[in-house]
Amino acid sequence: MSNYALTNCRIIDGIGTGIQENMSILVSGGNIKQLGKVTEVKIPKEYNKLDLKGNYVMPGLINAHAHLFGSGKPMKAISGGKSQEKLVGLLKTALGRKILDRMVKDHVMAALNSGVTTIRAVGDLFYSDVKIRDQIDSGNFSGPRLLVAGKAISVTGGHGSGSFAAIADSPWEARKAVRMNVHEQVDLIKICVTGGVTDSRVIGQAGRLAMTLEEVSAVCEEAHKIGFLVAAHAESTEGVRLALQGGVDTIEHGSEFDQEIIELFLNNPKSLRGYSSLIPTLYPAITICKLNPNDTLMSPVNVENSNIVFEGMVKGLINASKAGVLIGLGTDASCPFVTQYNTWRELDYTVRYAGLTPEMAIQNATRNNARILGIDHITGTIEPKKAADLIVVKENPLTNLRGLSQVQMVMRGELMIDKPIVKKLSQVEELLDTI
């Protein structure tokens, strides 16, 4: 059993007490045993002592909205149509599956090395997400903690229907799709209540209602009866309203909210816990809105839809944060320019575009995400008895979130990465740094 003593560090515990100076943390068997002032914590001699020289220790980041299939490198196939059909067809073959599994593994390791100790995957191909979660959980290899949704559930022609989603066109088909996912051992259910940006063909399609209230209610009933949470992709005010009325537990992306919607978030009797939460994802919208379509490989329709969604999502995030809705954080990794290792950028965008403080952004990405995902008894804050999901950074993230792009050390329970390596896509980084 590995024992570590991280000493001479500054701690941002994720609970919201600012920075604690001159601290030590004892980690034993992958769990936090004790933390306190350097002068108060006695380090047993069997512990490996790591002098962190005043560096900052934070809870590992949680990316609550990611897809594992993509690297973030723009691909024509993301926007649907023939090239998507072709790629999905290729990945379906035995060799294709092998390549996909390899890519998925690389992607989750890129995320882990960048400081993401937990990923919630919300729609992937051929249950590749379930497969890698099982490999990690069984100790085949060390990776991040994964919660996976398997196939998203969409309608004919709906968002993701050509790639990462199963199609269900009635309440009973929707129930069947839930049961199929449960049978494949997913951890949660993901549905696409409205259209989406990347595979839209007409302006306004991203927010257009796709599922009916009956279908959403059927999914929620089916999932909740066995204690599963439901995450809903919704990119318009009416889409969010319908999803919440149906009883979903999280709204993914979001839009502008009115009073009725805010009240439904705070008190949603049909949800699993009696309230629902918001996982905004500004990152994919910003890149499509602000970068050159020749670089993102998005059509003018995709760009216009992204503008509409971005504007709504920022308003919704501001509405929700004023009203005290529980807010998490996700990047939508796999979208064009949304790499698996750039989670810090989403924190930065919520600060720059929606007026959150860096401390709020960090809490959304750690403690709040853990609560929303139902794993706050295990991770999300630095407290005794919780898993040692920790990252070390040189610069104070409360004054410079970019410091999170240079993680010095990552611990994920028993796994210790003392020199994390992130292979960044240089062309992608160059352009992202312009926005």
Question: Which span (41-49, 148-156, 298-306, 330-338) binds Zn ion, by CB under 5 A?
Answer: 330-338
Question: Which span (26-34, 264-272, 311-319, 328-336) binds Zn ion, by CB under 5 A?
Answer: 328-336
Smallest distance from the beta carbon of 340 to Zn ion, in angstroms? 13
Smallest distance from the beta carbon of 94 to Zn ion, in angstroms? 27
**Which alpha helices (DSSP H) does 77-212 contain, by range?**
81-92, 94-113, 128-137, 171-183
Determine the Cα–Cα distance for residues 229 and 277; give it in Å rounded to an integer: 11
Q: Which DSSP state fits 422?
A: -
Residue 199 within binding range of Zn ion, rule CB under 5 A:
no
Determine the Cα–Cα distance for residues 98 and 124; give it in Å rounded to an integer: 15
Task: Pick the closer one to Zn ion by CB: 69 or 126.
Answer: 69
Task: Pick the closer one to Zn ion by CB: 332 or 348.
Answer: 332
Question: Nearest 5°: phi and psi at 210?
Answer: -115, -60
Question: Which span (27-35, 152-160, 332-340, 420-428) binds Zn ion, by CB under 5 A?
Answer: 332-340
Residues 249-268 that bind Zn ion (CB under 5 A): none
Size, binding site for Zn ion by CB under 5 A: 1
Q: Reduced to 3 states, what is the DSSP secondary structure of residue 85?
A: helix
- 20-28 vs 31-37, strand pairing mode: antiparallel
Task: Pick the closer one to Zn ion by CB: 332 or 389.
Answer: 332
Cα distances from 77 to residues 73, 80, 87, 296, 394, in angstroms, run: 11, 6, 7, 12, 38
What one-letter code names the amino acid at 323?
A
Question: Which span (132-140, 181-189, 214-222, 324-332) binds Zn ion, by CB under 5 A?
Answer: 324-332
Task: Pick the closer one to Zn ion by CB: 316 or 397.
Answer: 316
Smallest distance from the beta carbon of 65 to Zn ion, in angstroms? 6
Determine the Cα–Cα distance for residues 381 and 364; give it in Å rounded to an integer: 11
Determine the Cα–Cα distance for residues 198 and 88; give it in Å rounded to an integer: 16
Which residues, listed in sequence order, are joined to residue 166 by a DSSP beta bridge? 153
Task: Pick the closer one to Zn ion by CB: 124 or 304.
Answer: 124
Smallest distance from the beta carbon of 317 to Zn ion, in angstroms? 16
Determine the Cα–Cα distance for residues 134 and 217; give it in Å rounded to an integer: 30
Smallest distance from the beta carbon of 67 to Zn ion, in angstroms? 6
Task: Pick the closer one to Zn ion by CB: 283 or 344.
Answer: 283
* Cβ pair 309, 298 in contact under 8 A: no
Element (H, E) at 306: helix 300-323
Residue with the shortest CB distance to Zn ion: 332
Task: Pick the closer one to Zn ion by CB: 234 or 272.
Answer: 234
Smallest distance from the beta carbon of 119 to Zn ion, in angstroms? 12
Question: Which span (124-132, 156-164, 258-266, 325-333) binds Zn ion, by CB under 5 A?
Answer: 325-333
Question: Which span (47-55, 207-215, 262-270, 326-334) binds Zn ion, by CB under 5 A?
Answer: 326-334
Exactly one of 332, 346, 348, 389 binds Zn ion (CB under 5 A); which one? 332
Q: Which DSSP state fits 14?
A: S
Q: Which two tokens stand for residue 403?
A: 């410091």
Question: Which span (257-265, 327-335, 345-353, 408-416) binds Zn ion, by CB under 5 A?
Answer: 327-335
Task: Pick the closer one to Zn ion by CB: 13 or 252.
Answer: 252
Smallest distance from the beta carbon of 342 to Zn ion, in angstroms? 15
Smallest distance from the beta carbon of 196 to Zn ion, in angstroms? 8
Task: Pick the closer one to Zn ion by CB: 33 or 67.
Answer: 67
Strands (E), 246-386: 250-253, 277-279
Task: Pick the closer one to Zn ion by CB: 78 or 220.
Answer: 78
Which residues, listed in sequence order, are joined to residue 250 by a DSSP beta bridge? 231, 277
Smallest distance from the beta carbon of 95 to Zn ion, in angstroms? 27
Determine the Cα–Cα distance for residues 49 and 36; give it in Å rounded to an integer: 15
Q: Which residues are CB-contacts of 100 (< 8 A; sequence separation ≥ 6)? A: 69, 91, 125, 126, 128
Q: Which DSSP state fits 400?
A: -
Residues within the interface to Zn ion (CB under 5 A): 332
